[in-house]
Amino acid sequence: MGMNKNDFVFGVSTAAHQVEGGNVNDWSEWEIKNAERLAKEAPEKFEKLVPDWDLIKDQATNASNYISGNAVDHFNKYPEDIHIMKEMGVKVFRFSIEWSRIEPKENEWSEEAFRHYEDVIHKLKENGIEPWVTLWHRTNPLWIRDIGDWSNGKTVDYFLRYVEKIVSRFRGSVKVWMPLNEPIMSMGGGYLTGEYPPNRKNIFLAYRVLNNFVSAHNRTYELIHTYQKDAFVGMPHAGFYLEAYENKLVNRLTVKLGHYFANWLILDKIKKHSDFIGVQYYTRGIVNWFRQVQGSGVKTDMGWEVYPPGLYNFMKLAWERYHLPMVVTENGVTDSRDLIRAKAISAHVEQIMKARSEGVDVRGYLYWSLLDNLEWDKGFWPKFGLVSVDRNTMARTVRESAYTFKKIIEENKNKQLT
């Protein structure tokens, strides 16, 4: 099932490396090399930023927090996780297929890995949940890392070969595809700020990486549509939303520049190869000159301001520019005590419905994330999950806010896919 106009679906999002456990890729190796450093740097990075340092201190300063290891064992526990989703009433599960599992060595394909994802898809459908597949979510097989990952044009060809294998195998059961998750974030983190692997700071390489991502997205779009006329293909994009402090002219210019480089530059290049735009929205930025000013809204455990109108405003801007359908493919809060999650979800859904009532074609809301998981270079201390996980026993506990989410889904039933 694809997506029709007027449909509205609720679901949850995850990504392979953050939940599966047992992955061997560029990130897993990087984590092992960098865990000690990240634990040491934590006080300096987070003590001032997070509202409650005492809450996270022990985990954030412990090197094992930064190593994905068994993650939250979703690789083995997916039947239980699917059961939880069914109980919650979600109709869509967005997850990613891990390239390094499917093709651990160049042109060596793991039938076991194909079967694993086949079973995930099968069990989802059996439980009335649509599988929405991300084909790449930040991680690369080691052999791709070794050729310079996305700075090497060959990676695009290798990626397309992998995509073809996946799409030809799963086209009968998957209709919604997301080739690359947030290329701008991976390019920025890996090649501009250097926080993420491969820790480069080189604007020329960054530009090359960006163009390779664009070409991979556009070619994947074409390829999927040769296999499936009715496929629904889009890029999950980090909706970067800025506001001008005191509405000063100079700040308004900074906002325009920021929006252009973080959003429109890439979206302009892929708009003709997009059935929809995936909007991933977490917070706003307020700019005064080139500095960031703190907003007055409630803060998450990570210190990010919760600002639901920013989602509405971002979608209005994107709608005016592209007139493409949108799906909120990620939105969520880190909230280990589950104090603000339920309210945050309702408030963001309200903003979406407001945009819809004004003619903006938004077709769904996926909460990030189903489970507590590995928040990349921050490790496991940030808790995004509707479901918490005890990593010693891997036991799942459904948080109270999941019941609010269930209620929201029920209240909007008439807008659900049938």
Residues that bind ligand BGC (CB under 6 A): 15, 18, 181-182, 185, 238, 280, 330, 368, 375
Query: Shortest approach of ligand BGC to residue 387 CB, angstroms?
Result: 15
Q: Considering the complex, what minimum distance in angstroms separates the CB of residue 411 from ligand BGC?
A: 26
**Quick one: 15 or 56, whose CB is closer to ligand BGC?**
15
In whole angstroms, the minimum distance from the beta carbon of 269 to ligand BGC comes to 20
242, 285 Cβ separation under 8 angstroms: yes
- Percent of the chain as helix, strand, coil, to the nearest 5: 50, 15, 35
Minimum distance, C-beta of residue 395 to ligand BGC, in the bound complex (Å):
22
Cis status, amide bond into 369, omega within 30 of 0: yes
| Smallest gap from residue 12 Cβ to ligand BGC (A) | 13
Which of 236, 39, 265, 263 lies closest to 138 in space, CA to CA?
Answer: 236
Distance of alpha carbon 28 from alpha carbon 69, whole angstroms: 8
For residue 283, which phi and psi values (nearest 5 degrees)? -160, 175
DSSP state of 373: -
Nearest approach in angstroms of CB 170 to ligand BGC is 21
In this complex, which beta carbon is closest to ligand BGC, that of residue 89 or of residue 236? 236
Q: Which two tokens stand for residue 22?
A: 């047992």
Report, in Å, the least distance between residue 329 CB and ligand BGC: 8
* Phi, psi dihedral angles at 285 (to 5 degrees): -125, 140
When the beta carbons of 89 and 270 are compared against ligand BGC, the nearer one is: 270
Give the Cα-Cα-Cα angle 291, 297, 301 (nearest 5 degrees): 90
Between 263 and 280, CB nearer to ligand BGC: 280
Maximum separation of any 2 CA atoms in the chain, in Å: 58
Residues 6+ apart with CB under 8 A from 177: 132, 133, 135, 167, 220, 224, 231, 232, 233
Nearest to 223 by CA among 184, 165, 271, 276: 165
Nearer to ligand BGC, 137 or 399 (CB): 137
